[in-house]
Amino acid sequence: MTAASLTTDATPPRGCKYGSMSRDRRWALRWSYVFLTLFAIFFLMPPVYMLITSLKTSAEISAATNPWWVYHPTLGNYAELLTSRMYLTFFLNSALVSVIVVTITMLISIPAAFALSRMRFWGSATLATGVFLTYLIPETLLFIPLFKMFALVNEHLGIQLINRWWVLLLLYPTLTVPFCTWIMIGYFASIPKELDEAALMDGANYRQILTRVFIPVALPGLIAATIFAFTVSWAQFLYPLAFTTSADQLVLPVGIITTLTKGDVFNWGQIMTGALLGAAPPLIIYAFLMDYYIAGLTAGATKG
C-alpha cells in the first residue's frame, strides 16, 4: 500500500526516465537471450555431436570433411548395436540392476523415513542426521575395502561376489538409500500432524497410516526419490568397473567403455551410438518428469 502511494507520488517528475527504463529492460532481455543461446550451444554441443557421429559410416568419420555435418546419413550403427547380443546384454543388465535397486531403495527408505520423521524414538533425530552424513562418504573411498571384503567372503564362505552383476544390487543401495531417506523425511515431515492423528482416531494402525495416508500424500516426493535412485544406479561407473570384468556381467557404461574402446582403432560411430542409447533412458524420464526431477535435485542440495 505504501509502495503504491510512493510510486504514484513520484510519477510526474520521472515521466521520461520511465521510458528509458523500459528500453534498458528490453536490451537486458535481448542480451539475456544472446548469452543463453551461447551457453545452450556449449551445454548441448557434446550430445548433438554424439547424434551426428552416430549417423555416420566409419568411412565418413575418418574422411577429412566437415565433422559437424552428415553427408550420407545411415542408421547402420543403430541396427548393428541393437542386434548385437553383447550390447543387448549390457542394456538388459543395466535395466535389471536399476529397476531392482529402485525397488530395494524404496522398500528400505520409505519405512525408515516414516519411522524417523513420525515415530520419534531414542536417538531418531541423531540418526536422521547420521543418515545424511553417510551420504557424504563417497564411493571412491569405499571401493578398495569393499573389494577386499568381497575377496574375504569368497575365501571364508565360498560365495563368489566379484564379477557377478548382482553384487551391484548390494552396492548401489548404499548410494541411493541415504539420500532417498533424507528426501522422504523432508516430505513426510511436511505432512500436517492432524492428518495422522485423524487416521489414528479412526483406528488405523501404523502400517495403514503409512500406506493410506503418507504414501499418497507424499507421492511427488516419492516420484522424485524414485527418479533419483534410477538415474544414480543407471549412471554408476566406479563400482561396476571395479567389481565386474567378464562381458556378460557388465552394465552399460562400463560395457561400452571396456568392449567398444578396445583395440587400436576405436569405432567411434558405434561408441557414440552406444553412448547415446545409454543416455536415452534418463533423458526420456527427464523429458517427461522434469518437474519431479528438479524437485528431487533442489530438495536437499544433491551431489553436484
Task: Tell me how far apart the alpha carbons of residues 251 and 277 are, in angstroms, rounded to a whole number.
Answer: 13
CA 157 to chain centre: 35
Return the range that interacts with another protein (CB under 8 A); candidates 11-19, 41-49, 85-93, 218-226.
Answer: 41-49
Q: Is 153 in the site for another protein (CB under 8 A)?
A: no
Distance CA 244, CA 242 (A): 6
The answer to whether the CB of 56 falls within 8 A of the CB of 74 is yes
Least distance CB 237 / another protein (angstroms): 5
- For residue 80, CA distances in Å to 86, 206, 249 come to 11, 53, 21
**Is the CB of 16 or the CB of 136 nearer to another protein?**
136
Using CB under 8 A as the binding rule, whether residue 33 contacts another protein is answered as: yes
Is 229 in a helix, a strand, or coil? helix
Query: Which DSSP category does 121 fall into?
Result: -
Question: For 132, how many CA atoms within 13 A lie in the half-sphere containing its CB?
Answer: 16
Q: In which residue are the cell numbers 542480451 written?
A: 31
Contact range with another protein by CB under 8 A, out of 11-19, 38-46, 196-204, 213-221: 38-46
DSSP state of 300: T
Residue 143 makes contact with another protein by CB under 8 A = yes
Would you give the binding string for another protein spanning residues 66-85, x where CB under 8 A is met? Answer: xxx-----------------
> Shortest CA distance to 231 belongs to which of 278, 184, 301, 165?
278
Per-residue interface string for the shown chain with another protein, residues 188-207, x marking contact by CB under 8 A: ------------------x-
Question: Nearest approach, Cβ of 213 to another protein (angstroms)?
Answer: 16
Q: What number of other Cβ atoms are within 10 A of residue 132's Cβ?
A: 15
Please choose, out of 12-20, 28-36, 77-85, 213-221, the segment that lies near another protein by the rule CB under 8 A. 28-36
206-265: which residues touch another protein (CB under 8 A)? 206, 231, 234-235, 237-238, 241-242, 253-254, 256-257
Find cell 535435485 and name the residue. Answer: 297
Q: By CB under 8 A, what part of segment 269-298 binds another protein? A: 271-272, 275-276, 278-279, 282-283, 286-287, 290, 293-294, 297-298
| Per rule CB under 8 A, count of chain residues that contact another protein | 98
